Amino acid sequence: MTRLPRSLELRASRLAIALLTALVPMGALAQDAPAPNDNLNAVLWDQTSVEAQAGFVGAFALARIRLDEALADTARTAAPKEQTGDFEDLPPAVVLDVDDTLLNTSRYQAWALKADKSFSAETWTQYVKAKVDTAIPGAVDFTQYAASKGVKVFYVTNRTKEEEAPTVELMTALGFAGGGNVDTFLSAKEQPDWTSAKSTRRFFIAKDYRILMLVGDNLGDFTDSYKGTLTERQAAFDEAAPHWGRDWIAIANPTYGSFESSPYKGDYKLPAAEQRRMKIDALEAWSGPSAP
């Protein structure tokens, strides 16, 4: 074996020591480093940011103004497809989604993130029964304001019948407006045609009430055309242009929803890496800086 000159040997050993010193903390760091998770920033924003709270308060403040306008104009309905026949003299109602419109479910998303789990109906039901959601800022006051104006507040949620009792208990404790002698909590599958697409429940409400406003965090809280491609969803949004900010009030939710599944066509069985690739492919990007 050829020996290196003494000076080179010294340099090589110093280099080896320097490398080892650099690698040990890196190794220790790698062991302690949390696994990357695509939902981290969204859940962090949703649960901890004052910017999120400010946006929620603003959305419900706008909803209150729009509610007064809609009350004063009996020719208006927020559900033109479902509100057929004469509705001017019907009593007024608002239709609100629950999850991440009125209740902040970020503790479930945070659990999933920390435990490296994805959504499942079983864990979700257990979560609902734990009753740990908080009220979205502005939401309780909005429902109370609507009720004080004689507006019936309907909760149209895809929580199931089994999840209804703990949800109603929690929402009552948080101060959301109740329905009096009317069942205003319409959960999924409560009737055979009450699927996760919500228009059948809006039809049901519209038979007896003039719907003044829809509030939700998902396109599906406003229209059944929410499951398509990004282009189809854009068309559904554009078609409803007169409603947004008027009688359709959207609550920001970056943590989950049909926006997230659209790029991979709602194929939840695809490996996470493939879903991620399709989401990245859906993004328009700048071409980057020009070469120096």
Comparison of 87 and 249: residue with beta carbon closer to Mg ion: 249
Closest approach, Cβ 112 to Mg ion, in A, equals 16
Paired tokens of 289 = 């800086």
- Determine contact, residues 147/177, Cβ cutoff 8 Å: yes
Closest approach, Cβ 91 to Mg ion, in A, equals 25
Cα gap 203→126, rounded to integer Å: 31
Q: Which residues in this chain contact Mg ion in the complex, by CB under 5 A?
A: 97, 99-100, 217
Which position's Cβ is nearest Mg ion? 99
Closest approach, Cβ 215 to Mg ion, in A, equals 10
Closest approach, Cβ 251 to Mg ion, in A, equals 8
Comparison of 87 and 164: residue with beta carbon closer to Mg ion: 164
Cα gap 192→241, rounded to integer Å: 32
Nearest of 107, 99, 92 to residue 171 by alpha carbon: 99
Nearest of 40, 47, 247, 255 to residue 137 by alpha carbon: 47
Comparison of 87 and 248: residue with beta carbon closer to Mg ion: 248
Comparison of 97 and 164: residue with beta carbon closer to Mg ion: 97
What spatial distance separates the first Cα and last Cα of the chain, rounded to whole Å?
46
Comparison of 82 and 99: residue with beta carbon closer to Mg ion: 99
CA distances, 255 to each of 31, 61, 180, 244 (Å): 27, 23, 33, 21
Closest approach, Cβ 280 to Mg ion, in A, equals 25
